[in-house]
Structure 1
């Protein structure tokens, strides 16, 4: 069974390229040249050198002693939070920025929700002397104000988006509109969403995560296959990277945790797998939150990075083919798990990553199981949210 993209840009029945005519030249050029460019020695040398000496890879695979004792399994965290800029997002922005340079593009546009992709994009643009425009929902700018400051400090122009729900979906909409009117720019998408080849590109660049997990586990445990790999999922970039090199090995159980918001039975959720239906969102066929007329519904999550009404086509296919077990976590469950990790192991996770930790309370593991959870980002940006909910509790 094939879990990867085919020559036409589809993952089974999902994917493809559903775009306005004004973008066809840009997207077709990417489709034509992307694979040849990233396979070249010059690209790979630049990419690996920057990941090593600028980003700080490989990120550690950390054994959680107290966490493991509590949940009676052997639990490791893949510490993407320790990357430069504080999340996994920079793995992708480095790759796409090099690609944009080789395509002769000097103006980069991007969207961001939690701000981590925006910060990572602004960072590589400063490094590579590229003009940078970041679209961010006004609501998210207030929720993630520290990341807005970081983006501006790095020289990026942050453009508030005041349409719709003023969150990630709306930022993507505005970025695409800008791209249509400014085709000389390069759109640096942050997740495994959008028209082909973007979902494939982002998954390829994030696959460094599972590549390292295999190598690190081999050194630590003497074998390269964990029993479980767990990741949170919105659009799906960190999950794609965490699962990538294990997809064809069914002895490795893969778990993706969606943001349920206030619950999957409410209208305040971002659980596209559990509450969504098939349709087109931002250039690809996928599963998304929509009404009976095909209008995209608002998504809700306490995590701005998971506050998106769809999921990448790769993950829609993995769900339909039952390769990945999808579960969901509410805002409250994520906050509880994030605070628990902080108190037990001295690590404050991003609220996005905290959703992945909830799987430990919902799945029954054996004591012999080796579990790897990708900690996609650090919680500095969310500290006010943690404080608001828990400062008065003796947690």
Structure 2
């Protein structure tokens, strides 16, 4: 019997990973979400408004583009799922549209979020502007410096951007600050988590909202190739929301190989990496049990990636389960190959990808795909936000 990967247990576990480990003050919030999110998400009225906004505001369905020159280069048939063409420039808005509708139905009047690369922050600020709700976004000081255009976009949209100045001053620390805010404002505030991380039900909630990606892939691929099932689905993984969305409707299709691509930074053995599936051990971070980069004393070790969206010390519990169970294959890509992949896609197909997505692109040579096989790669975001980084490393873009 084929194992079921889509849905966690009632307590939020995917195998040994997941759960909800939260401070007592947050228990009512998390429990309210747990008991109500499926009822709300599955309701006809919610689905009607959610899909209307995805169509009319986000711009869905996003195209499934056959990248013929890239395919010729890699000797296989490659389709790009163009999430970079979503409003705000990345897949993140699929989740924020859904969660803002959920927050309204829960009676919340204030929104908080965390962000690394800034795309989730922009997407949260965007839907808050649309719905007229106040918004606070937490972002690490390091990420604010390297993703300055997104900081200014959030402010222009009316959000307050608060800097996280502790620890590595990146995504982990922004998440810590957002959780502290939620503890201080438990009654009126909804925390829009941007990835498939955090306490149950967030990993399942975000995966369900992002599953529109793989829902569309199946129907689009059927139209283009005569089959709904590709041979490979490839996506980058930090926390893992774009990968969860791209994988979701293929999780229980064993013929489809799921390829999750992490950031190896300067190398797996360099001490400057974010390849959690290789370097991590089971532990608890931000409310769930998952694979976590930590030292022998259980203290979190700082991740590193040139990409602001991939330097998270853990991965979502769904992805931890997919990796440990063998359902997904994890690949680690260093900074330099990712930068070369930016140049390759830009010059072969006229598409400048986000640095996060470039890691997935750089994994194409490792697939071993043949000419007759079909590869779908989730192009999770566009590269506008990373232009300063690309200019800084122009010598690597060759």
Q: TM-score, normalised by structure 1?
A: 0.99
Q: Within 5 Å, which residues of 2 pair with 1:149-228?
A: 149-184=152-187, 185-228=189-232
Distance in 1 between residues matched to 2:146 and 2:302, nearest whole Å = 17
Q: CA deviation at 1:231?
A: 0.2
Partner of 1:59: 62
Distance in 2 between residues matched to 1:202 and 1:113, nearest whole Å = 17
Runs of 4+ residues deviating >2 angstroms: 392-395
Evaluate the alpha carbon distance shift between residue 153 and residue 394 of structure 1 in structure 2; reply closer, same or farther with a 3 A threshold: closer
Equivalent residue of 2:360, what SS? helix
Q: CA deviation at 1:388?
A: 1.3
Distance in 2 between residues matched to 1:38 and 1:247, nearest whole Å = 20
Distance in 2 between residues matched to 1:176 and 1:360, nearest whole Å = 37
Q: CA deviation at 1:174?
A: 0.4
Are positions 1:328 and 2:336 aligned together?
Answer: no
Partner of 1:387: 391
- State which of 143, 146, 155 in structure 1 corresponds to 2:149: 146
Distance in 1 between residues matched to 2:252 and 2:293, nearest whole Å = 29
Deviations 1:64-94 (A, max 9, x none): 1111111111101000000000000000000
Contact 2:50 2:97 in 1 (8 A): yes
Are positions 1:301 and 2:305 aligned together?
Answer: yes
Equivalent residue of 2:230, what SS? coil
Distance in 2 between residues matched to 1:209 and 1:63, nearest whole Å = 16
Partner of 1:288: 292
* Structure 2, gaps ≥5 residues long: none
Q: TM-score, normalised by structure 2?
A: 0.98
* Structure 1, gaps ≥5 residues long: none
Distance in 1 between residues matched to 2:158 and 2:130, nearest whole Å = 11
Are positions 1:352 and 2:356 aligned together?
Answer: yes
Partner of 1:133: 136
Distance in 2 between residues matched to 1:394 and 1:266, nearest whole Å = 22
Partner of 2:29: 26
Evaluate the alpha carbon distance shift between residue 261 and residue 393 of structure 1 in structure 2; reply closer, same or farther with a 3 A threshold: closer
Partner of 2:97: 94
Distance in 2 between residues matched to 1:214 and 1:124, nearest whole Å = 27
How many pairs align? 394
Evaluate the alpha carbon distance shift between residue 95 and residue 340 of structure 1 in structure 2; reply closer, same or farther with a 3 A threshold: same
Q: CA deviation at 1:2?
A: 2.6
Equivalent residue of 1:306, what SS? coil
Deviations 1:219-259 (A, max 9, x none): 11111111110000010000000000001011011100000
Contact 2:232 2:256 in 1 (8 A): yes
Contact 2:276 2:293 in 1 (8 A): yes
Equivalent residue of 1:126, what SS? helix
Distance in 2 between residues matched to 1:251 and 1:365, nearest whole Å = 14
Q: CA deviation at 1:394?
A: 8.2
State the superposition RMSD in angstroms: 0.8
Q: Within 5 Å, which residues of 2 pair with 1:308-327?
A: 308-327=312-331
Contact 2:283 2:289 in 1 (8 A): yes
